[in-house]
Structure 1
Amino acid sequence: MSQGSDVVLQRLMALHPKVIDLVLDRVWRLLEALGNPQDRLPPVIHIAGTNGKGSTLAMIRAGLEAEGKRVCAYTSPHLARFHERIRLPDGPISEEALMAVLEECEAANGDAPITYFEITTCAALLAFSRVEADYVLLEVGLGGRLDATNVVAKPALTVITPVSIDHQQYLGETLGEIAGEKAGILKPGVPGIVARQEDAARDVIEARAEAVGAPLSIAGQDWDAYEDQGRMAYFDERGLLDLPLPVLIGAHQVANAGTALASLRALGVGDAACEAAVTRAEWPARMQRLRTGPLVEQAGERDLWLDGGHNAAAGVALAEALGRLPDRPLHLICGMLNTKDVRGYMAPLAAVAEHLHAVEIPGEAATLSAADTAAAARDVGLEASEAESVSAALADVPEDARVLICGSLYLAGTVLRENG
């Protein structure tokens, strides 16, 4: 049954013809009409980057909550329900509270054009301004400089996770141009934590920090994190932490954990909270093993995993993580959007997978056809076939296989909803 908030969200989608239109004028106008809730937030940690934003945020949240802090978090996109995007200290926003802030934003905005992401971001800021909390974690939607979240004058901390090529149609063609957009969240006098970057990205971020007067703490220079004999080592000027490997799987999660720990140390948390950051973080659809539900029952002896990464850097990280699992034949069930670098994503996976079953993403206008997805896989040397659905693809996979459903957070969300 449709919830009231779903009806309002459908109406909000019609307020602006473009899904993405990167300017801040409409956001400032609506925030002013709402009484500027962005100026009444608990201390804000603002997180930008191409890959690892969500995982890093989840680890920072786990660390802060282990210290007894009350934390709000804003993330996107959602997987199963919109309510996941607006997380209050006691969990995802309730249907009643979500309806209230959405309708308040709708009334304040009237018929003026505003994108769905902009008006729902304003709703999140309004919700956060009205709860007792110690921190708000804000994940950038796209880019940084002109993102709807970039409205807090003086955050407590800014964080930039690894920058790679993605969303070129909005952020620029080169790594430097894209890094410049991400670096737009840096603020005068506000400490910035920077994950390990390619030189072209790091140079731009450092130049921006110098221009605005933002002190940086940079991976490989001021702190570092790495795997060591089945454990994770983190060190900075305060000393060395010897920790378990992150509960989130993959070498890239050790790097993300390092960024989270550098952020937590900048906020002054203790060692126990740092350990909780890596052992208690939860972030669905990032190398997530599915253990219950109808799809798992259908899978039988097959080993079933889910991941929402969708660009070339995510493909590299995924192939590395899959290569570390106990040896089983790997079959991919893949659906992607037509805006992504499909071959760039698949090329690293071709080295570890035996076969790809291509599907369309249900209900997504921008889905790549199964035929085009399969063709892209063959282009990079991966045997591929088409399937009507995830379930149909799964039925076609050998019983002894490991199965990874992958290629898009939208596909991951569909799987999580349908799998209960």
Structure 2
Amino acid sequence: MSVGLDAWLARIEKLHPSEIELGLERVRRVAEALGAASLSMPVITVAGTNGKGSVVALTRALAAAAGRRVCVYTSPHLQRFNERITLPDGPVDDDALCAAFEQVDAARGDTALTYFEFTTLAALWLFRHSGADLAILEVGLGGRLDAVNLVDADVAVVTSVGLDHTDWLGDTREKVAVEKLGIGRAGRPLVYGEENAPANLDAELDRLKAVPLRAGREFQVEAARLSIRDGQRQRHYPLPLPPRLGADNLATACQALVAAGFPPADDAPHQVADTGLVGRCQVRRYRGVQCVLDVGHNLEALTRLRGRLPAHAGRRRLVLGMMTDKPVEAVVALFAADVDEWYLARPAVSRAADTGRLARALPESAVAHRFDSVAAALDQAVADSGAGDQVLVLGSFFTVAEALNAMDQGD
């Protein structure tokens, strides 16, 4: 009797007692048994605190514009697990996923794998049989000890380093940098995507013996063009302004592809300038109201979002749901002057902060409403809005996922 995708995912969630167990020994052993410890096509691995998803999306779009067949692995998903694995012809279907899970299950024997490790191995097995020209792998957490790092990257990309997941990665940017830069390999390019680098960047690159490609140094965003390092020379690309996912992310994606031996065509940045990403400053009209959804959950990401919000003529309402380990007070302070009413919700996950915690972070003068679900908060915020008003939905992947599900069901 065949097992369906939902049953597989439910089973995989129960295979390991912990949600996270960093380390490569177990997963590498299973990968070798599976025949998926390496890939036959060039690999670009992308880590970073913020900007990973945007750089992955832009790298894929640039490669596809050149006719390359691309596989992509990302996490987490928002609405369907299949979003995590893209094959050259599109998102993986349920049957192919189940077949991959069967292969991983057979190869692991009695080795306990986390949900992320199990599904990463399934993606690698699918990529091995895809006939793709290029694989793009997004790191789940950190880098050095993340399951994705079992594959030797031809090009490593670290988009940024900030303070997030400090219990696992360290409480300074320099400690976090060691973990994220750990996806680099000796003698191979490592692209670093932010000009404001941690103090130990150069020392870590030297220790890894990676070939440095640093934003603001080897490559950069100039007034109206991108300057990208290609060996000993620079390639120049006209810069479309403003790219939806950011000029810095577009430059990082171009540099990664050039380093991988797939230089984009001269007009490629213009072709992909309108590339967007679900849940990243995503604008959607729901019941006639402009809604902006963003999965950002740390201060750096949400500061960037605040500077990119579309203009609105009326009032702004904010649907907020966050996890307990995120900087609730700092996020509230960031938006406090721009929000007319707050709609506080607890996403349906155990790590979510309750609405009391969110309420205590608000200014005393704030107008706030508390709800048992994101869907209820969204519905009320939209119902309270009129022409020219704007509803923000932010604070977590889970918050945005529940809002998108509610919109799909309510349209």
Q: TM-score, normalised by structure 1?
A: 0.89
**Code of the aligned partner of 1:161:** T
Aligned residues: 396
Query: Tell me, what secondary structure is at the counterpart of 1:419?
Result: helix
Residue of structure 2 aligned with 1:345, choices 325, 331, 334: 331
Residues 383-392 or 157-166, more deviating: 383-392
Q: Quick one: distance in 1 between partners of 2:247 and 2:340? A: 27
- Say whether 1:393 aligns with 2:381: yes
**Code of the aligned partner of 2:284:** L
Q: RMSD between aligned alpha carbons?
A: 2.0
Name 2:33's counterpart in structure 1: 33
Residue of structure 2 aligned with 1:359, choices 345, 353, 368: 345
Deviations 1:118-147 (A, max 9, x none): 111011111101111110000000000000
Work out the percentage of aligned pairs sharing the same amino acid: 37
Q: Judge conservation of contact 2:39–2:151 (CA < 8 Å) in 1.
A: no
Q: Quick one: distance in 2 between partners of 1:405 and 1:100? A: 36
Measure how far apart 1:386 and its partner are: 1.4
Measure how far apart 1:107 and its partner are: 2.4
Measure how far apart 1:116 and its partner are: 0.6
Q: Judge conservation of contact 1:387–1:393 (CA < 8 Å) in 2.
A: no
**Code of the aligned partner of 1:106:** D
Measure how far apart 1:162 and its partner are: 1.4
Name 2:305's counterpart in structure 1: 318
Question: What is the 5 A alignment of 1:7-406?
Answer: 7-35=7-35, 37-153=36-152, 155-199=153-197, 201=198, 203-225=199-221, 228=223, 233-236=225-228, 237-248=233-244, 253-266=246-259, 267=261, 268-279=263-274, 281-291=275-285, 296-297=286-287, 300=288, 302-322=289-309, 325-361=311-347, 363-378=348-363, 383-388=367-372, 389=376, 390-397=378-385, 399-406=387-394
Deviations 1:168-208 (A, max 9, x none): 01000111101110010110111111112434x2x323212
Q: Judge conservation of contact 2:295–2:400 (CA < 8 Å) in 1.
A: yes
Measure how far apart 1:329 and its partner are: 2.5
Q: Quick one: distance in 2 between partners of 1:416 and 1:110? A: 38
Query: Tell me, what secondary structure is at the counterpart of 1:411?
Result: helix
Measure how far apart 1:399 and its partner are: 4.8
Measure how far apart 1:242 and its partner are: 2.4
- Say whether 1:407 aligns with 2:407: no
Unaligned runs of 5+ in 1: none
Q: Quick one: distance in 2 between partners of 1:212 and 1:118? A: 25
Q: Quick one: distance in 1 between partners of 2:40 and 2:363? A: 50
Measure how far apart 1:382 and its partner are: 5.2
Query: Tell me, what secondary structure is at the counterpart of 2:392?
Result: strand
Deviations 1:79-127 (A, max 9, x none): 1100110110111101110000012212222343211101110111111
Measure how far apart 1:351 and its partner are: 3.3
Unaligned runs of 5+ in 2: none
Q: Quick one: distance in 2 between partners of 1:387 and 1:287? A: 23
Measure how far apart 1:375 and its partner are: 2.0
Q: Quick one: distance in 1 between partners of 2:161 and 2:332? A: 19
**Code of the aligned partner of 1:29:** R
Q: 1:246 to 1:83 in 2, by over 3 A?
A: farther
Query: Tell me, what secondary structure is at the counterpart of 1:22?
Result: coil
Q: Quick one: distance in 2 between partners of 1:353 and 1:257? A: 30
Q: Judge conservation of contact 2:156–2:190 (CA < 8 Å) in 1.
A: yes
Query: Tell me, what secondary structure is at the counterpart of 2:18?
Result: coil
Q: 1:255 to 1:350 in 2, by over 3 A?
A: farther
**Code of the aligned partner of 1:241:** Y
